[in-house]
Chains A and B, each alone.
Chain A
Amino acid sequence: MGAVSRSLCAGLLLLFTLHVPESHAAGPHEFTAQVDVRLIAADTPLKSFTDGGLGLLLFDESRDVVRLGPVMLDYSGPLTDTIRATVTAFANGDNDKNPIDLTEAVLEWRPVPVSQWRWRARLGAFYPAVSMENRGIGWQSIYSLSPSAINTWIGEEVRTIGGELNLTAAGAGVGRPFDIGAVIGVYGWNDPMGVVIQERGWAVHDRQTALFGRLPDINGLPAADGSFELFREIDGRMGYYAGLEFSWLDRVVARVLHYDNRGDPAQFDQEEYAWLSRFDSFGVRIELPGDWTVIAQRLEGDTAIGPSADGRGSHILDFWSDFLLVSKSIGRHRASARYEQFHTATARGAGFYDSHQSGDAWTLAYRFDLTDSWQLQVEALQIDSALRHRRLQGVQPDAVERSVQLVVRYSLTL
């Protein structure tokens, strides 16, 4: 089992002390504890990015075959009748700075609607509504273990640390079959965003970066063993995002979002540069008769770093990805298949650092909810990618990486 960290033991201990029959659930305060036991088979010529390599799998061949964890702890409950607090923490058991760390901590104001106009406000650290997959507690995908490359990246580098306001004209209460909503967010502490996609490119996994956690340096150099903190303010400039959501009878949900962290690429705080990162995302989820679900998403953007005469950055990276997911649920079973493509290309400054990635991935996933608490998941993943600066680590740029994970998940809500 290698290093089953103290955090996991602590999490498990907490889990078992919390273990009382579900019928005792009462009151509006919800505590959720979740723990995985994973059986992992990996087939890859590369070292995982979590060990400073340029492989795209979370677990490479050197990792344990059987893993305990991650453990997730989540609380959600009311502070007042219309303000709700939600806090989510993960223990990944992978030598992050803090054995257990927060991924989200948010206050949400939900006034009870008195007309079709529905106001929502969030304040804290949370995910902007980009993903059409990550709908579960702890921002986990309900369709597969690992979200798409797009939403893997959101989980790695994107967090709103700030506020968000959402206004929706909801049709259900007034007999209209569709809803239209608008959202705007303002945030800081997201200046290093862009460093992961520039250094490693896209990946497919379900590890979310913790708010106070550190990521290993992945700059393609053989001696990369440093680490850095992702959620920090460097340039003193706030970022924003603005988006629209349309829903028809909850059967077709479409979202667009424009995101701009308004970073100043010339700023440096002795540890990390501020990155200027912007993207547009488009997503649609369609629920078809027979419990079929189709999800398509596209995200494209750029990120820039370093001083330049025009202020746009001395190094600019373009990135884009899209995926198609088809899922079918039958009772307590769900099977999903996903295909995606992902790319990065250096648009300026390639002579200094030529980040260039091109790849695609297939994901086949099956989940079976045996009970409300016990769940079985199987996921097969194949990533076929070329990453130019793998040469810097003395390995071939092209690689096919495969993994199969069998997960027994215990999740209890009290």
Chain B
Amino acid sequence: MPHFIRFSGIATVALLAWSSGQAAALHALITDRDRAPMADTVLMLVPTDPSRDAAAAPQAAPQVMDQVKLQFNPQVMVIGKGGQVAFPNSDTVAHQVYSFSTPKRFSLGLYRGLPYAPVVFDQPGLVVLGCNIHDFMLGYVYVAESPYFGKSNERGEVHVADIPAGTYALKAWGPRFKEQEAQVLQQVTLRGDETLDVTLKLDRMLSPLRNPAAKPGKLRY
């Protein structure tokens, strides 16, 4: 439902000096309606020409989503198709990580430390993670549908480099989105050796974040 999203429309094209090479880059600033930076937002560039979708994500080393103080850390992660994530538990209490999201259904029996091999995520889309012991624990692995993606930092900034020239749909997803699918923000056309600067204002009602575990104190109920 992309029409829920309006953009500030500030898509400043910063033309850099021509130089050799074909790859472009994207530098985005993601804010909410009040222009406050939005951290933990996944941004993807999906080629509009489906025949170009064949580009496979380079096989990256397994990512790590830790469990610290009854929270997933980081809470949001974006990986490419076929990416792997390890789920160590650094707490003194045991966790039981699971997901029933369509792109990946799995469960890791009750554990502490790191007794399991990394989990492989083959299908694109949002995988919502829970803990079967602590119902309030919530994590997200977004499996990007293209190899060109990034996640915004605390200042709301995302950098995506090494993008082949072409036309892309800019799609975003974050834990405050009401939908579980990435939303198309706009189309961009990138030429080689260009860094595109965009400001993406998510001009719509976002949900508040879920409340993280109460602290301090070892929670059981």
Contacts and interface: CB of A to CB of B under 8 A. Distances in A.
Interface in B206-221: 207-211, 214-221
Contacts of A82: 132
A112 B98 CA distance: 7
A287 B221 contact: no
A136 B112 contact: no
B180 interface: yes
Interface residues of A, number: 52
Given A174-B180, A175-B178, A251-B211, A136 B219 contact: yes
A411 B220 CA distance: 14
A293 B214 contact: yes
Contacts of B178: 175
Specify which of B94, B133, B208, B214 lies most central, judged by the most chain A CB atoms within 10 Å of its CB: B214
A114 B214 contact: no
A137 B219 CA distance: 6
Contacts of B214: 135, 142, 287, 293, 329
Given A22-B92, A372-B92, A172 B218 contact: no
B207 A135 contact: no
B130 A30 contact: no
Interface string B84-128: 000000001110101111000101011111000000000000001
Contacts of B168: none
Interface in B139-184: 178-180
A31 to B, nearest CB: 10
A249 interface: yes
Interface in A2-41: 22, 25-30, 32
Contact of A28 (B112, B136, B216): B112
A170 interface: yes
A136 B211 contact: no
Contacts of A331: 216
Contacts of B111: 27-28
B138 interface: yes
Enumerate the 9 nearest inter-chain pairs by beta-carbon distance, A residue then B residue, closest first: A142-B217, A369-B216, A28-B94, A28-B110, A250-B211, A175-B180, A413-B92, A135-B221, A287-B211
Interface of B: 92-94, 96, 98-101, 105, 107, 109-113, 128, 130, 132-133, 135-136, 138, 178-180, 207-211, 214-221
30 contacts: A25-B113, A28-B94, A29-B94, A30-B93, A30-B94, A81-B109, A84-B110, A84-B133, A112-B107, A113-B130, A114-B100, A135-B214, A135-B221, A136-B217, A136-B218, A139-B221, A142-B216, A142-B217, A168-B135, A172-B210, A173-B99, A175-B180, A251-B208, A251-B210, A287-B214, A332-B216, A334-B216, A369-B217, A411-B218, A413-B93
